[in-house]
Structure 1
């Protein structure tokens, strides 16, 4: 998260430097997320087969290559490619949560998740504080260069000190899913179909913007949608027939896991929609923004990261005391309230910062609770695959969030004079549309949380209710 939040304040600079639209700029985040979405279940499966430490070190090495190339990028497309390579590193999160399942006693897993979440937030806090300063003084390239020594140091620490503990038979989750031996192999066809589906859908969304309307654009959008639909059907058919599926559809349809995963997907959508939107709002000139610089963009989002830092470990303790489901219901309700505040009060930076703090509180509770449901409902021998599916859906949501925000910002624009030249910027209507969409989806997440509670009342999974 350090590397990601450092770059966020620079999004308006990248738009100007590379002369790209707001919709195209969403791929600065999306190009990172799509490979991550595909690699989540792949890495989870590989970690089940070859060991978490070996796979984690391999992915970290790829991540270092990606951030190095990104630092030397001279065009938007080179940056997209570098971000795609960097995105493979997102699979590290799957393995990290799997390690928690291996190392922590069952009743303490939520606390372990909270610790990881607090580290997540710590990186976000440091990134937001340092990012604006580095960008203002040294340019956006330096954000990547500053990450390289940290990543290399972590690689050495994990290689030298991380040890795996084998799970004993009595430590496996009690849910009645067949515990057959896991065959070796990776579903390459499924991975290709999944990547095609996600990429086609996002490309169609990117093209769907004002200014690109017309027959040629409509045909391109139709082609991408059709390609994505075919890829989705093929993916489902491949997974049903594969001996070693990338995604176990039966496990994914589990009565507890499915609603928890859908809630996680909405969390990913909401968080990354905010990451795409707030820097643009802060840095655009008055009256269509706050007229701030990169540092101010970081400071406005700082309450979001600070609350996440506090509520990371706290959420774990709350989940341990109240169970997993009640914190999800509370968290989704608070998240909805936070987006309502953003929808109503986004005309000054103080209101936006306060709304982000409320939003972060809800997301923290929701995230830890929903992930805890997934982990406790999954047998240990399928943990990598299950957490991979969970994170896959989070990243699918996170991929769509920035893309849809970019579409709104490209569609609803107003023109003002900047340096004696008419310049178009997203209007306040664009931000209202973004936050209204987030409110609607957050209400859906509340409904899913209530539905999940009713389902779990009929099940008997230890430490879950």
Structure 2
């Protein structure tokens, strides 16, 4: 940020916590705050899991060929608003802004749950997308609320919370879908969002740092978010309209142009939205590139397995495996346990191990897993064994990403860095998800208004996922050696060792 941060004392009712023990472990108060930040952050992962598993049911209920937008409209809204949310959090405090976007997310969840048409469902899902930037604010809050030596441990703890989502989420989905249908899933999302709001209101203190409230480059923010959204929308429509169609090209080419215009306006603005000067540092742009690509592989390709397992088996029409959600959850038990173990182990190891290693290794394992799954995805045994590879990858990746961001920037840049990285990863994830649907649709059949997918489509989507994962692996080689998170003191710039 171009304006210097001016710390103001936190509210008297919510003082910033301190480590009474002075040791390396987190005190009880700090653990409670970390858990309270973990809930809304990992709710994004839970929403992705629940929503992804509900797609097959939603598609068949509303008879739509555009089921991809059930996930994508949420992501697009999150992409558009991220720059505004990050800037407002600098002005008004991260907790305050997290509360506002959680309330909006809750409103969207309620609308989606009560929707009687697919269009209204998408409106609700879009409003719920306002919740999307909360992870960036939560990780940035850690930098202000925790002692410097414990920032890495707290961030790792929040990130590894995805293991609990992976362990309990499939069974929750199975019970809800098999007992109450997709409406049960949507009501569950509403309830979990409400709990997240309660935790923010009662447990998390306000962050102390503020920047001077000035006129910001809001037009630039609209160009940045709108351009990113336009590009991803064009990718999604390319398979339907044709890749040489004027409308397709307008969105695909116009999106990057809008982003470039944002860069020009922000660099010239007296009050830029983001301090883009950090992107000139190799330590920053390489971390953003690597974590964005690898995170996109992790979160953008999960729909392949969800659709494969839960869509029905209809000869010549659908080559899904026709599982119940509970059956799919049972198959995922070994992987879920392994994610928990690997995530925890990676978090501990990162105190001594270079965070680039588990990130790159996780991406490589993910790519190998998809290559193998392309030929072996037909039986329960095959899915369980290959799920173990995915679990190893996920455990390492989710624990490494937040630590690498902390290591790449100074404390004053944390909120901006989390916002930019979250936006980059969000765009990559949305584009990857769009590409997955485009590839799947090349081998599909439409019956009674619902699109079903054939085995050749699933195979090609897995090959795409493997290629992106391997590209992410190579991108890690660009990242220079960084200072360890626990060695970064508050206010100290992070430099290459």
Normalised-by-shorter TM-score class = 0.7 to 0.9
TM-score (norm 2): 0.80
Q: Which residue of 403, 424, 436 maps to 1:405?
A: 436
Deviation at 1:399, TM superposition (A): 0.9
Deviations 1:216-238 (A, max 9, x none): x8222123224324322222222
CA shift digits 1:111-157 (9 cap, x unpaired): 21221123233234333211122122212112222233333233233
Q: How does 1:202-241 map to 2 (within 5 A)?
A: 202-209=232-239, 212-213=241-242, 218-241=245-268
CA-atom RMSD, angstroms? Answer: 3.0
Give the superposition deviation at 1:93: 0.8
Gaps of 5+ in 2: 1-44
Q: CA offset at residue 349 of structure 1?
A: 3.6
| Structure 1 residue 14 corresponds to structure 2 residue 58 | yes
Residue by residue over 1:378-428, the C-alpha shift from the partner in whole angstroms, topping out at 9 and shown as x without a partner, is 22222111111111111112211221111111112369xx9xx99973222
| Equivalence map 1:191-270=2 (5 Å) | 191-209=221-239, 212-213=241-242, 218-270=245-297
Kindly report which structure 2 residues correspond to 1:260-299, keeping only aligned pairs within 5 A, or say none.
260-286=287-313, 288-299=319-330
Contact (CA 8 Å) 1:48, 1:382: kept in 2 or not? no
Hey, which of these two has a bigger chunk of helix by percent?
1
Provide the C-alpha distance between the structure 2 equivalents of 1:252 and 1:221, rounded to a whole number of angstroms: 30
Q: Which runs of 4+ in 1 moved over 4 A?
A: 180-183, 300-305, 421-424, 454-457, 460-465
- For the Cα contact (< 8 Å) 1:5–1:128, is it kept in 2? yes
CA distance in 2, matches of 1:354, 1:142: 30
Quick one: distance in 2 between partners of 1:75 and 1:199? 24
Say yes or no: does 1:133 pair with 2:178: no
Alignment partner, residue 172 of structure 1: none
| 2:335–2:388 contact (8 Å) kept in structure 1 | yes
Of residues 236-245 and 430-439 in structure 1, the stretch that sits farther from structure 2 once superposed is 236-245
SS at match of 2:320: coil
CA distance in 1, matches of 2:494, 2:252: 43
Structure 2 partner of 1:327: 358
Aligned match for 2:382, one of 346, 351, 363? 351
> Which residue is 1:449 aligned to?
476
Greater RCO, CA 8 A, separation 6+: 1
| Matched residue SS, 2:377 | coil
What corresponds to 2:14 in structure 1? Answer: none
Q: How many residues align?
A: 442
Deviation at 1:185, TM superposition (A): 4.4
User: 1:412-451 residue pairs with structure 2 within 5 A?
Assistant: 412-413=443-444, 425-451=452-478
Pair 443,413 (structure 1): closer, same or farther in 2 beyond 3 Å: same
221 and 405 in structure 1: CA distance in 2 versus 1, 3 angstrom threshold: same
Shift in alpha-carbon separation, 1:352–1:253, aligned structure 2, 3 A:
farther
**Cα distance change on mapping 1:88 and 1:306 into 2, 3 Å:** farther
Shift in Å at residue 194 of structure 1? 2.1
